């Protein structure tokens, strides 16, 4: 399947739009890198960044494997708690709470809406099409992201894996979004996302037309 540009997405005969958030409405990696470096600078400066980032990555993998497919498997709080436990830090849950807050404050402050996504959502708004974000993540974090991107007036609904108890490509995620949009047939909705396996194949399995987008190709 070829990657689509936002400007080429067809909106005729569509009653509602399902859309991913991370790496679909904004670029994830640059914000993650910025946030992790802030955590390292403030809380882990006694070790090399490469050592810290690998420790963090291992912790994220451990949490993901243990808690999949619950939304909690994406928790940075649990990842940082695992890091502090690995290091033998006293009261690791308290330190993890501080690290989690610093990570997300830094991440979200650095975010910016992708221009192509902005233009697409403006098209949806002009056509009166409701938009539901469908995301594998904890709800409170995604709400903060939506607010920072200035989309609270343009996103009609939000579905997260934390709420549903499953992750994309599980049909439950897309069906939950359709219910919130008041859509009963897959043919009346479209799904937009960056992941072929999660967003595109998952949506197509229940007859939702899907468009894979890449923000790096929009510029």
- Exposure of 62 by Cβ count < 10 A (0-12 exposed, 13-18 middle, 19+ buried)? middle
Residue 210 sits in the same domain as residue 117: yes
Q: Residue 69: is its pLDDT beyond 90?
A: no
| Of the residues 93, 109, 125, the one at which a domain ends | 109
* Opening angle at CA 94, ends 89 and 97, nearest 5: 120
Count of domains observed in the chain = 2
Question: What is the rounded distance in angstroms from the CA atom of residue 127 to the CA atom of residue 91?
Answer: 52
Residue 166 sits in the same domain as residue 192: yes
| Of the residues 109, 127, 149, the one at which a domain ends | 109
Question: What is the rounded distance in angstroms from the CA atom of residue 38 to the CA atom of residue 117?
Answer: 27
Residue 139 sits in the same domain as residue 69: no
Residue 176's domain comprises 6-26+112-217
- pLDDT in the model for residue 218: 67
- pLDDT in the model for residue 71: 80
| Of the residues 109, 141, 168, the one at which a domain ends | 109
3-state secondary structure at position 131 = strand
Residue 204 placed within a domain: yes
Q: Which residues of 68-87 are buried (b: 16+ CB within 10 A; e: fewer)?
A: ebbbbbbbbbbbbbbbbeee
Residue 123 sits in the same domain as residue 34: no
Q: What is the CATH number of the domain that holds 178?
A: 3.40.50.1000
Question: What is the rounded distance in angstroms from the CA atom of residue 209 to the CA atom of residue 57?
Answer: 34
Residue 153 sits in the same domain as residue 87: no
- pLDDT in the model for residue 27: 96
Question: 10: how many CB neighbours lie within 10 A of its CB?
Answer: 10
- Model confidence over 109-151: pLDDT tens digits? 999 999 999 999 999 999 999 999 999 989 999 999 999 999 9
- Model confidence over 149-182: pLDDT tens digits? 999 999 999 999 999 999 999 999 999 999 999 9
- pLDDT in the model for residue 118: 97
Question: What is the rounded distance in angstroms from the CA atom of residue 24 to the CA atom of residue 218?
Answer: 11
Residue 1 placed within a domain: no
Residue 189 sits in the same domain as residue 119: yes
């Amino acid at each position: 399947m070829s990657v689509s540009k936002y400007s080429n997405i067809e909106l005729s005969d569509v009653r509602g739009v399902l859309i991913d958030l991370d790496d679909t409405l904004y670029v994830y990696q640059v914000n993650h890198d910025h946030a992790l470096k802030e955590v390292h600078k403030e809380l882990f400066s006694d070790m090399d960044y490469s050592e810290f980032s690998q420790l963090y990555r291992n912790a994220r993998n451990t949490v993901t494997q243990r808690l999949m497919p619950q939304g909690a498997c994406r928790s940075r709080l649990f990842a940082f708690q695992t890091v502090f436990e690995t290091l033998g830090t006293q009261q690791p849950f308290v330190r993890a709470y501080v690290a989690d807050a610093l990570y997300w404050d830094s991440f979200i402050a650095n975010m910016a809406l992708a221009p192509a996504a902005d233009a697409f959502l403006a098209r949806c708004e002009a056509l009166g099409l409701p938009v539901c974000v469908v995301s594998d993540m904890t709800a409170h974090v995604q709400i903060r992201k939506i607010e920072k991107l200035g989309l609270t007036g343009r996103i009609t609904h939000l579905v997260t894996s934390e709420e549903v108890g499953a992750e994309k490509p599980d049909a439950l995620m897309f069906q939950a979004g359709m219910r919130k949009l008041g859509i009963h047939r897959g043919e009346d909705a479209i799904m937009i996302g960056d992941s072929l396996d999660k967003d595109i194949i998952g949506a197509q399995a229940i007859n939702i037309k899907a468009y894979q987008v890449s923000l790096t190709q929009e510029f």
